[in-house]
Structure 1
Amino acid sequence: MGHPAAIPYPDIDPVLVSLGPIQLRWYGLMYLIGLTAAYFLIQHKVARKGLAIRKDQIYDMVVYAAFGVFLGGRIGYTLFYNFSYYSQNPLKLLAVWEGGMSFHGGLLGTIIALIWFSRRQGIPAYTIADLAACVTPIGLGFGRIGNFINGELFGRPTDVDWCMVFPAGGPACRHPSQLYEATLEGFVLFTALWWIDRRPNPPGTVFWSFITGYGISRLIVELFREPDQHLGFLLGPITMGQILSLPMVVVGAVMLLLGYQRESQKSVELS
């Protein structure tokens, strides 16, 4: 049953422009906006910090990251969320327009791609990691808005006044959890990382802050998000998203602590 005070789902056509067999979807446009914004913001940060990184290197960095996101996201979704289906239908691995991207897989793919980039260009890995991490929440925020427009990854049934009835979610009124994620993983995390980056920190602080912050954000949002139908809850009330995010919080917090410890030891040695 729908909630009487529910906000109507806008039901936006996922296809923005259709030219014969070619379609431009909102979801793809969100990725494009995120990558473009990342390019210009990294340019701004490089100039502000006086880093010896050229514009063509920034462009290449964004391209490497994009390949890492798409390849890692697709492979990660296959392994973490739907291995049995794709093992029986291997050609469907290429059908990215049907959906199926894992953030955690995309993160691993991006890390691998940017380590490769940093070594090829002779730029310290943490310099690249901090620059990339600082702008990643923009892409995450826009991506979650794309999920909302697609009417996918919706929340659990609820009776809150801002619940929505999603076309693919049956008659139940649900949390618009995609918008919660866009806010936490996008705006809040971006603001926090931008603030951290404005202060003197050990190398890698922004990157590990992103890892920790995303993990915390995802753990919170998973409390409101409907688990994947073919997976459900895995360990009692725990979802796959929480299982993959908890190590991020632990590892990120430990690495932040180690980074500050090393920095304080250097200060003592210099004094």
Structure 2
Amino acid sequence: MHPILFEAGKFTVYTYGFCIAMGAVLGGLYMYRQGKKQFGWTFDQANTLFVLLIVGGVVGGKLFVIFENPGYYLKNLKQLFSGSGFVFYGSLLTAIPIMLWYFRKNKIPVLAMLDVMAIVTCIVHGFGRIGCFMAGCCYGKQTPSFLGVTFTHPLCQAEPKNIPLFPTQLMEATFIFAIMILLLVYKPYKKFNGQLFITYLILYAIGRSVLEIFRGDLERGFVIKDLVSTSQFISAIVVSVAIYFYVKLRRKATLNHQRK
């Protein structure tokens, strides 16, 4: 694909980083506008959370890279500082406690704001997966089907090169943006605060588990070798916890409605 967007002398702009930046900016703008509209956020409040989430997302994403395949990355430490090589679940699971702490500290309705952050997450993550496609990371297995994409650029991380692979990055980006559209359409009809965020977690975790079947990058790590990947294992936990809170919050909302 196109791992390098453009070069100007010794200055190089990588497509992966550009896509991440685009997603972060668009997601940040949505977060600020919705936060201001619904809860009276100031720009400083939104900007502070934006910075905290970027730092937390990078640290969490990199830490989970080691967690998924410690043997590989301890032998290849340079890969930890490459432009790509983030684990989304690491970023997400780091971001959630940061958001909970920040919303409570600033007396912002936690569940209602999490619904906003579900859309923000889709925006950032969707653009990030497009960046993955351009960099060739998170690639799929070999396939003779019409879906196959051949990576030829020497800087692409996809392996093997010059052989059609499932474009799992674009498949996931499409799925993520589909979730985002679904959440935006359903937003006016939600039954309780937190419903959009929990729905996002459930849908993404299920979809991610399916997409893992088509992934070809073995270094992402497995809980059960060649059978259950680390991301599938985390997805199972996420779905279980999310369903528990969905039922709990739905039941609470129903009881509150009956009391009125």
For residue 169 of structure 1, give the secondary structure of its aligned residue in structure 2. Answer: coil
2:164 maps to 1:177? no
Which of 16, 24, 44 pairs up with 1:27? Answer: 16
Tell me which amino acid in the other structure corresponds to 1:17: F
If the length of structure 2 is used for normalisation, what is the TM-score?
0.87
RMSD of aligned alpha carbons: 2.3
Question: What's the CA shift for 1:52?
Answer: 2.3
Tell me which amino acid in the other structure corresponds to 1:127: A
Which of 74, 77, 85 pairs up with 2:65? Answer: 77
Matched-pair contact (CA < 8 Å) for 1:34–1:139: yes
Cα deviation 1:173-210 (Å, max 9, x = unaligned): 2211111001002x111112212322243221121111
Provide the residue aligned with 1:103 in structure 2: 88
2:233 maps to 1:243? yes
Identity over aligned pairs, percent: 26
2:39 maps to 1:51? yes
Runs of 4+ more than 6 Å apart: none
Matched-pair contact (CA < 8 Å) for 2:223–2:233: no
2:119 maps to 1:129? no
Residues in 2 aligned to 1:59 and 1:232: alpha-carbon distance in whole angstroms: 37
Question: What's the CA shift for 1:101?
Answer: 0.8
Matched-pair contact (CA < 8 Å) for 1:27–1:147: yes
Matched-pair contact (CA < 8 Å) for 2:69–2:219: no
User: Structure 1 pair 232/259, CA: closer, same or farther in 2 (3 Å)?
Assistant: closer
Number of paired residues? 254
User: Structure 1 pair 24/154, CA: closer, same or farther in 2 (3 Å)?
Assistant: same
For residue 192 of structure 1, give the secondary structure of its aligned residue in structure 2. Answer: helix
Matched-pair contact (CA < 8 Å) for 1:227–1:239: no
User: Structure 1 pair 25/84, CA: closer, same or farther in 2 (3 Å)?
Assistant: same
If the length of structure 1 is used for normalisation, what is the TM-score?
0.84
Residues in 2 aligned to 1:94 and 1:219: alpha-carbon distance in whole angstroms: 24
Residues in 2 aligned to 1:46 and 1:53: alpha-carbon distance in whole angstroms: 5
Matched-pair contact (CA < 8 Å) for 2:220–2:230: no
Tell me which amino acid in the other structure corresponds to 1:252: A
Cα deviation 1:61-118 (Å, max 9, x = unaligned): 2222111211111111112x2323444676x486142x32111110111112222322
Residues in 2 aligned to 1:230 and 1:134: alpha-carbon distance in whole angstroms: 26
Tell me which amino acid in the other structure corresponds to 2:108: I
Matched-pair contact (CA < 8 Å) for 2:73–2:80: no
Provide the residue aligned with 2:185 in structure 1: 195
Matched-pair contact (CA < 8 Å) for 1:155–1:177: yes
For residue 222 of structure 1, give the secondary structure of its aligned residue in structure 2. Answer: helix
User: Structure 1 pair 26/201, CA: closer, same or farther in 2 (3 Å)?
Assistant: same
Structure 1: segments with no counterpart, 5+ residues: 1-10
Provide the residue aligned with 2:55 in structure 1: 67
